Structure 1
Amino acid sequence: MSAPSSTERAQRLYEKNIELEKNRRRSAQARVPSDPNVWQQMRENYEAIILEDHAFSEQHNIEYALWQLHYKRIEELRAHYSAAVSSAGSNTSQGVKVPPRPDRLTKIRLQFKTFLSEATGFYHDLILKIRAKYGLPFGYFSDDSESQIVMDKDGKKSTDIKKGLVSCHRCLIYLGDLARYKGLYGDGDSKSREYAAASSYYLQAASILTSSGNPHHQLAILASYTGDELGAVYRYFRSLAVDNPFSTARDNLIVAFEKNRHNYSQLPGDVKAPLVKEPAVRLSGKDRGKAEAKLASKEINMESNAAREKVSGVQDAFKSFCIRFVRLNGILFTRTSLETFADVLSLVSHDLCELLSSGPEEELNFGTHAAENALLLVRMVSILVFTVYNLKRESDGQTYAEIVQRTALLQNAFVAVFELMRHVVERCSQLRDVSSSYTLPAILVFLEWLACCPDVAVAGSDVDEKQPAFSI
């Protein structure tokens, strides 16, 4: 009798897991503790299927089933922790005197972190096994792994390496999610470290499978944790602007735009004041001597206060710019509040000019260093480009009114992108050393887009910059 094929072995393991899952559900319904070894056995079976038969694994979505096995446990632990926190808060609010039990919360949190760490180790090991199975050498992951896939004599991509990359891509996203959950329940520096680790995993996943929108969607979630609205929208757009957009990215983007609309409504209306106000001092001849003495004695304090005011003013202006810029694109994406577009664009344009500053030297008002400033402007122009792209896409069955609205929205989008980029280009031209300007990457992206889309360049040349944005 011949040995069972890989598909037959995978089928047996799959059927075994179905039976184990049924037993777990029966135990849960009967409120009987299930065998703790069952979960471990199911995980081992899923792992064996993935490494045994790729076609069977893909057909039955085994990699996702394996993650769901972990995710259900994560949800259980999160529920236990939330219940413990709620119970403690409820007793306190009702004035019930109960012995404090910080040990319970600490125990649940430790149990949660231990599980997440163990799961992280499991997925790291799984990646190593996948690498070994499909012949992926160490250091293979890079910014263009897809283009580096080994070619055979016929010029076709190596099927095995492609399979391995896809599986590693998914594992890296799961690793990012595990690190993100660690960060959610971490404190201080540990939270920042875990979020940084999650970001690293997601970026690796994006680099080895550029056609997937999933890692960008997860990066958008990370950005939302820190209140980075512009970064979140950029990542949501990236999640949509790929061959395989993430399924819920559009819905989550609309939610993000709605939150931004609320934040926008909380901003002060008057933004015409400069970033830093110079103190006005009026002195009479009689008091000038005393005043000069006081000013001399307080010179250091005044300089320190002025520096703090400048930093605070720049930070506030940058925050306002990000909120207003996201609102501008939210209007065009959701096609709501269109009558406010011209006013919002005016505010965004003013904020951008203030942050770009003036004079022969650049000021780092978009971040702490030049690279961060350059990245922010690249993201800005990328969002503007995608907004135009999204509006240019035609859908079947449009009514005449929808066609007219789409034309007007495109006009608004063109006005926005050309007006804002005009400020960036003009600022670059004013600098003493143009070659080292952090505005150059954004300008290059903008020019490459125009070169690839001559119809956009023609449309842009027809925009009368002296006229306000056309609104509906």
Structure 2
Amino acid sequence: MADSQSKLITILSVYGKKFSELLNDVPPYHENVSAMVSEFRQAVEKAILADIETAAESDLDNMLWMKIHYAVIDSYRKQISKLRPQAKSRPTEARKLEAQFVKFVKSAMHFYSTFIQQCAITYKVVELKPIINRLRVNAKFPRAASSQPVSAKITKLVIQSCHRSLICLGDLSRYREVNTFHNDENSEKLWRPAINFYKLALQLIPSNGFPLNQLAVIASLEGSVLRATYYFFRAISVESPFPTAPANLELAFKKFLKSGTQYPKEEMPLSELIACFLRWHAMLYQTYSGLHKPPEISELELSAPMGQLEILFQEAIKTGKVTTDAVNTIAVINLSALSFSLRRKSFNCFKLLLSLIFKFMSLMWTALEVELKSKRERFGTAEVRENGLSLTSRRLLVGLRIYSTWLRGNISELLAVDELRSEIVSDPFWKVYCSALVELSSIYTSTVVIDSDSLLKEDVELLGFLPCRRGLSSIRQRAEQMTFDEIEESVSKLHPNSEIDLRIADILDDAISTTRVDKVPILYENQSFIFLATQSTSPPHSDVMMNAMVDLLLDEPDPPGPSLTTPYSKANWGSATQYSTFSGLSSISYDNSPSFNLHSTSTTSIFPSSADDEVLEPTTKKIDQRPIGSQKSNATTIDNATGTGKLNPFNFAGSFFQPPQVQRIRAKQAQIKNTDVE
């Protein structure tokens, strides 16, 4: 069979060259072209279904797409572009050409849909059944008892082949909208089919950047530079990044710096913030991307806009203009850029990005604390829990959960770097963070945690995102090893208020785990957060130390935290596992394995949210109650004048000796104070 397959592949290669010559002589709708397309499809499908290993080695999937389907599309594109200026004077000819093109696209889409079905049935890969159901293709899988087991290697190859087919389906949908005589680029519905195909591919294999790059292309066509930047950075920040995503991002930034952008309707209220944010990242990216010789941009030019960014972001929060989508998109871009700058060994850019991340986290935590404290003092703790948070705070919680996951997974490695430790430890963020945690834990001491085996929608959206990987726990840590069907079943069906409780539980869990790290200036004792004031300075930067830092932060991970077979209990926070690797910075490979989620059909929202823009009613469903914080909130207070933590003496038996807690606090203070000496 191997010999016959090799002969077939050789014949197909020759056939592809002849097809290319044919397209140069006749239009793409010629009957000879249609006949050769049909024959080539059947031959490739037959070869893949007969021996997928040999077909994969010969890259038949790509051969079919590039030499046949894309070649025909490109020929149609040239014909349409040539006729477009005269479309009004030659309407009949334009209408016929477009009809022929749409007919070809439909036939290609039908082929790929049925190919996925045939591939799954032939190799008995039941994991693809949910995909087939989404494609509305009738497929009957053989009973498990009568089918032979399929090797893991074959299953992986089948899934990869179907993943590429899903991307082809997305590309066909996109080309259908681009190559017409009457495009309405502002219509949200035009891109929806393509987006859904790409997101099916993303959820299928979360570690591949190809579909993310294609989503960035659609965002660019829609005129959203912010979403295009988000997806290009996402395409870089996965195990198998899309090879040209860094260059594509550079082109998008250059275009933005040269001509600005027209913002989609949903981004208009934040246009000033978005413009400032993108301009700063575009300038910074030029200095660390490594694609060309970096321009001469002074550190002052990069540092000065940060103050304006901080003001604009704070104003967006105060006025309630900030959306969940904007907060999370900004967070993911910041974390992706931080990771990418480290790979490029750009120490100054890394420090600027780290500083911006800490500033944005501080602003978000401050806004949340102000609301919690005000409502608690006016209405009492029980009333706050019952009535819930404001719309703005609910939006911020989703972003804070992303940041807290990143912090949990990376703070240990950051503090292990001599050149970063002192500056990080003395950052004002920690005082703000601790104060907000005290307020949050005092209100949500016995809040409701529902079924920790639920994935929130933002969890599915960020599957495969390396910068946060090591901070994940429980089901979020296991999600990337789940099948498509398991992910679908695990997506939260909770009441929006219960989802908020789950986010808060994760945030507090992350915070407690973070405080376990040596030199973090926050102590968690007796279910209370205590801030430990410190002052320190950073040693000067050197190239030798920069290389040492990169070696440390890019080191391969130790075995990950909790065992995947051990149930994780949010009630047992004291045993939260500490992660030990700066995530998202492992070596990059360029094998095309796939990625992700189809829960949002909107083209304007990256992060689907169930609680964003609606007034939530308290849930009436009876649920299990599990403690997620302290039972007493007066164990710790923050002195606004000194920034130090105060222990409530009534929580200790006796006043003439130092309790163990005080001894531990002083020991940790001494450890932090000696940071510069170490």
| Common topology (TM > 0.5) | yes
Match of 1:11 in 2: 6
Q: Aligned partner of 1:119: which letter?
A: A
Match of 1:287 in 2: none
Matched, 1:443 2:400: yes
Using the TM superposition, give the Cα deviation of residue 10 of structure 1 relative to its aligned residue in structure 2, in angstroms: 2.2
Distance 1:237 1:28, change over 3 A: closer
Alignment of 1:90-105 (within 5 A): 100-105=89-94
Using the TM superposition, give the Cα deviation of residue 426 of structure 1 relative to its aligned residue in structure 2, in angstroms: 1.3
Q: Aligned partner of 1:43: which letter?
A: R
Contact (CA 8 Å) 1:176, 1:200: kept in 2 or not? yes
Correspondent of 1:63 among 39, 61, 75: 61
Q: Which runs of 5+ in 2 are unaligned?
A: 133-143, 145-149, 288-294, 376-387, 416-420, 430-678
Higher fraction of helix: 1
Correspondent of 2:119 among 104, 120, 130: 130
**Cα distance per residue 1:392-434 (max 9 Å; x no partner):** 2265xxxxxxxxxx33222211221111221111112223444
Q: Aligned partner of 2:177: which letter?
A: G
Distance 1:246 1:315, change over 3 A: closer
Deviates more, 1:456-465 or 1:65-74: 456-465
SS of residue in 1 equivalent to 2:257: helix
Match of 1:293 in 2: none
Distance 1:421 1:42, change over 3 A: same
Distance 1:245 1:196, change over 3 A: same
Match of 1:411 in 2: 351
Match of 2:308 in 1: 347
Percent of paired sites with the same residue = 22
Flag the structure with more relative contact order, 1 or 2, with Cα contacts below 8 A and sequence separation at least 6. 2
Match of 2:174 in 1: 180
Correspondent of 1:333 among 285, 288, 310: 285
Match of 2:424 in 1: 460
Match of 2:334 in 1: 384
Using the TM superposition, give the Cα deviation of residue 47 of structure 1 relative to its aligned residue in structure 2, in angstroms: 1.6
Match of 1:211 in 2: 207
* C-alpha separation in 2, matches of 1:139 and 1:26: 39
* C-alpha separation in 2, matches of 1:357 and 1:248: 39
Using the TM superposition, give the Cα deviation of residue 236 of structure 1 relative to its aligned residue in structure 2, in angstroms: 0.7
Match of 1:192 in 2: 188
Distance 1:65 1:194, change over 3 A: farther
Alignment of 1:260-279 (within 5 A): 260-263=256-259
Using the TM superposition, give the Cα deviation of residue 207 of structure 1 relative to its aligned residue in structure 2, in angstroms: 1.0
Deviates more, 1:112-121 or 1:67-76: 112-121
SS of residue in 1 equivalent to 2:106: helix
**Cα distance per residue 1:31-74 (max 9 Å; x no partner):** 79883322321221112112121122112111001111100000
Matched, 1:251 2:253: no
Contact (CA 8 Å) 1:450, 1:456: kept in 2 or not? no
Q: Aligned partner of 1:35: which letter?
A: N
Matched, 1:114 2:103: yes
Q: Aligned partner of 1:382: which letter?
A: V
Match of 2:553 in 1: none
Q: Which runs of 5+ in 1 are unaligned?
A: 90-99, 143-149, 151-155, 268-311, 367-372, 396-405, 466-472
Q: Aligned partner of 2:153: which letter?
A: T
What root-mean-square deviation, in Å, do the aligned CA atoms of Structure 1 and Structure 2 show? 3.1
**Cα distance per residue 1:83-142 (max 9 Å; x no partner):** 1123569xxxxxxxxxx2111111111111111111111110111111112223354459
Match of 2:472 in 1: none
* C-alpha separation in 2, matches of 1:265 and 1:19: 46
Alignment coverage as a number of residue pairs: 372
Match of 1:201 in 2: 197
Alignment of 1:138-157 (within 5 A): 139-141=129-131
SS of residue in 2 equivalent to 1:439: helix
Contact (CA 8 Å) 1:183, 1:193: kept in 2 or not? no
Distance 1:118 1:15, change over 3 A: same
Distance 1:139 1:49, change over 3 A: closer
Using the TM superposition, give the Cα deviation of residue 448 of structure 1 relative to its aligned residue in structure 2, in angstroms: 1.5
Match of 1:81 in 2: 80
Match of 2:370 in 1: 430
**Cα distance per residue 1:204-254 (max 9 Å; x no partner):** 111111121101000111111111111111111111111111111010000
* C-alpha separation in 2, matches of 1:332 and 1:257: 10
Match of 1:321 in 2: 273
* C-alpha separation in 2, matches of 1:18 and 1:440: 54
* C-alpha separation in 2, matches of 1:241 and 1:380: 15
Deviates more, 1:341-350 or 1:215-224: 341-350
* C-alpha separation in 2, matches of 1:157 and 1:354: 56
Using the TM superposition, give the Cα deviation of residue 260 of structure 1 relative to its aligned residue in structure 2, in angstroms: 2.0
* C-alpha separation in 2, matches of 1:347 and 1:212: 35
SS of residue in 2 equivalent to 1:11: helix
Distance 1:441 1:35, change over 3 A: same
Match of 1:168 in 2: 162
Q: TM-score, normalised by structure 1?
A: 0.71
Q: Aligned partner of 1:80: which letter?
A: Q
Match of 2:71 in 1: 72
